[in-house]
Chains A and B, each alone.
Chain A
Amino acid sequence: MIETGYVLAVIFAMGLVTFALRALPFVADHWLRRQPVVQRLGQFLPLAIMTLLLVHSAAGAAGSHPGGPWPELAAVALVVALQWRSRNALLSIGVGTAVYVLMRNGGF
């Protein structure tokens, strides 16, 4: 069981950080627009961070079972292909997860 006080503190911290980010343009509009580094990071970071999160969570899943990272590689490739063609996040996530669960529980 995860301790409630710890989760409450995490929720508070995450809520504060998320709100601060969303509010920043409304309190520091002029300053933000003048910072070239803000613009550069805004272009660079989103794709880099998503790639890192994808690789990190796939690596974590691959490390949780013997037999190599093949189910992760196959399922991620499937999700990417589905999302690229359909733009339907629910479909991509649902089919990708279902195929992954089948592979993991079907003796692959």
Chain B
Amino acid sequence: MRSLDFVLAGVGGQGILLASDILCRVGMALGYDVKKSDVHGMAQRGGSVISHVRLADQVFSPLVPLGGADFLLGFEKLEACRWAGYLRPGGVAVVNDEAIPTLPLVERTPYPDDATIERILRARAGRVLFIPAGRLASQLGDQRVTNVILLGALSCLVDSALEVWQQAVAERVPPKARELNLRAFATGRAQVGNSLA
């Protein structure tokens, strides 16, 4: 049976729900049964956010089982670590190389250093790709396209036609932001191209 499970993790307000919507559209275009699950409400107020996307011939649970995800798309380094347990052993982590600090005073545990982050991710993942998506988004002039840059990088690793992704992005984002998002998507793809070279 064909199946692909994704977990997207980051901080509320990073455009995670939009990214998982696009991923679902890709899944539908590829002919999969699709389910997705998010948490809405209070948890979104700057808190840790996770979205599950499941593609298969028939999907039952909208939640990816712990240890079952083929891909982890991390919008923020700490959150990628927090949810790394969802990856299946040998799965792939694509992570925005960006740190969003936690609230000072209350949180006594320090933000992990890069070596620790790498160690946590590699404990599960067969492959870890860090993408400077936040920085690239700023260069493109809009922080909000960080999500689509990450999707561009992810698209290189999923066996699928490029046009399917481009169409899903174009359909889901607001018309006036379409061109910018398609550029962001291409930017993300180029990152993986570079790291594979």
To the question of whether A and B form a pair in one complex, the answer is: no
Q: Which residues of B contact A (CB under 8 A)?
A: none
